[in-house]
């Protein structure tokens, strides 16, 4: 995750939690774990394609589409990724941003190569707007091929 999604450890990873309050239901409650497998899933099989060409049935069912969205190659299994499927609207920029309530931001993990300026700016924002959010610093382990994390202000812990 760190090398692929945070610009080689220079970014941050955020932790969002599902919190249900009153009539508010968080979008994060719809998140599902990704399944990792050797074979690429098919959106449609041969029998369904033939039936559709004959004017029968559906080319792909919503379940087939969902199964495709929640599957990645086994090599990525260490990510333990969860996804939220949605955004059926046609977005011109091709991306959808989901808002979250302040309480749902439960932790942030700062990359071990993050600049001091970025770290200070993020910590200031978290302290001002999300005081309940835990901040974790990251560092390279001295004895393992691993990263170590610790709450800001405490010693690093192996992870």
Domain membership flag for residue 71: no
Residues in the chain, overall count: 159
Domain membership flag for residue 153: yes
Phi and psi at residue 104, in whole multiples of 5°?
A: -75, -20
Of 103, 102, 113, 109, the residue nearest 140 (C-alpha):
113
Domain membership flag for residue 95: no
Residues 34-67 pLDDT 10s = 999 999 887 777 887 888 888 887 766 777 777 7
Domain membership flag for residue 76: no
Q: How many CA atoms lie within 13 A of 83 on its CB side?
A: 15
Domain membership flag for residue 125: yes
Question: How does residue 158 score in pLDDT terms, banded at 50, 70 and 90?
Answer: very low
Domain membership flag for residue 45: no
Q: Is 111 exposed, middle or buried (0-12, 13-18, 19+ CB in 10 A)?
A: buried
Residues 98-123 pLDDT 10s = 788 899 999 999 998 999 999 999 99
* DSSP secondary structure letter of residue 41: P
Domain membership flag for residue 16: yes
| Domain carrying residue 105 | 1-21+100-159
- Contact at 8 Å (CB) between 157 and 148? yes
* CA distance linking residue 152 with residue 87, whole number of Å: 35
- Contact at 8 Å (CB) between 15 and 107? yes
Domain membership flag for residue 60: no
* Average pLDDT of the chain, as a whole number: 82
Of 87, 79, 5, 1, the residue nearest 35 (C-alpha):
79
What is the number of domains present in the chain?
1
- The segment with the largest mean pLDDT, out of 6-15, 118-127, 147-156, is 118-127
């Amino acid at each position: 995750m760190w090398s692929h999604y945070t610009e080689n450890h220079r970014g941050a990873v955020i932790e969002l939690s599902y919190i249900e309050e009153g009539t508010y239901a968080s979008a994060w409650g719809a998140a599902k774990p990704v399944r990792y497998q050797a074979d690429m899933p098919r959106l449609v099989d041969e029998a369904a394609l033939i039936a559709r060409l004959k004017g029968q049935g559906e080319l792909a069912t919503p379940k087939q589409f969902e199964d495709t969205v929640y599957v990645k190659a086994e090599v990525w299994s260490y990510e333990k990724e969860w996804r939220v499927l949605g955004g059926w609207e046609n977005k011109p920029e091709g991306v959808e941003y989901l808002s979250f309530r302040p309480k749902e931001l439960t932790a942030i993990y700062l990359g071990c190569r993050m600049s001091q300026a970025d770290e200070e700016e993020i910590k200031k924002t978290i302290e001002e707007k999300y005081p309940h959010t835990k901040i974790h610093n990251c560092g390279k382990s001295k004895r393992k091929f691993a990263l170590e994390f610790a709450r800001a202000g405490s010693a690093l812990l192996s992870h």
